[in-house]
Amino acid sequence: MSRRRAVVDQPMEPHVNLAFGLRAVPGGYAVLLGAGASVSSGVLSAWGVQCDLISKIATAEGAEIPDTDTGPYDWYVNRFGHEPAYDTLLADLARTPSERQALLRSYFEPNETEREQGLKRPTDAHRALARLVASGH
């Protein structure tokens, strides 16, 4: 007798992937930080990057987005018929890892003006993590 399993189109929870990955690397660690660790230095959160990318798509299409916190998100849903997700949005805009890196670089690396303003620089939290790694923890 053959048993059939229902196929559920639901991705695995990210924390499950992380747990399996850490188990595969004895002595490996993961540090889970909120966006505040970087936002305080002038780096956009994933939501902020996502909204900015959506705004650029809308601009390329000649569309206007309402100037609200959810304007880009709402425009995307109305335009494409589904909710945007950070990872799939990046995959759609930049197919290879090097393209994604190039696309995201300006969000995380300071330009000259930002450098002069002290933006997008490591915070105390980043430095503390670096010290932990450097000391072998």
Tell me how far apart the alpha carbons of residues 66 and 80 are, in angstroms, rounded to a whole number.
16
How does residue 13 score in pLDDT terms, banded at 50, 70 and 90?
A: confident
Give every CB contact of residue 135 below 8 A, 6+ residues apart in sequence: none
Give every CB contact of residue 8 below 8 A, 6+ residues apart in sequence: none
Would you tell me how many other CB atoms lie within 10 Å of the CB of residue 76? 22
Q: What are the domain boundaries of the chain?
A: 38-122
pLDDT digits (tens, 9 = 90+) for 113-134: 999 999 999 989 899 999 998 9
Look at residue 1 and tell me whether its pLDDT is greater than 60.
no
Global pTM? 0.72
Look at residue 2 and tell me whether its pLDDT is greater than 70.
no
Question: What is the signed CA dihedral for 11, 15, 16, 17, rounded to 10 degrees?
Answer: 80
Sole residue written with tokens 């003006």: 113
SS3 63: coil
Q: What is the mean pLDDT of residues 69-93?
A: 92
Taken as a whole, the chain contains a residue count of 137
Query: Could you tell me the maximum CA-CA distance found in the chain, to the nearest angstrom?
Result: 71
Query: What average pLDDT is seen over the chain?
Result: 88
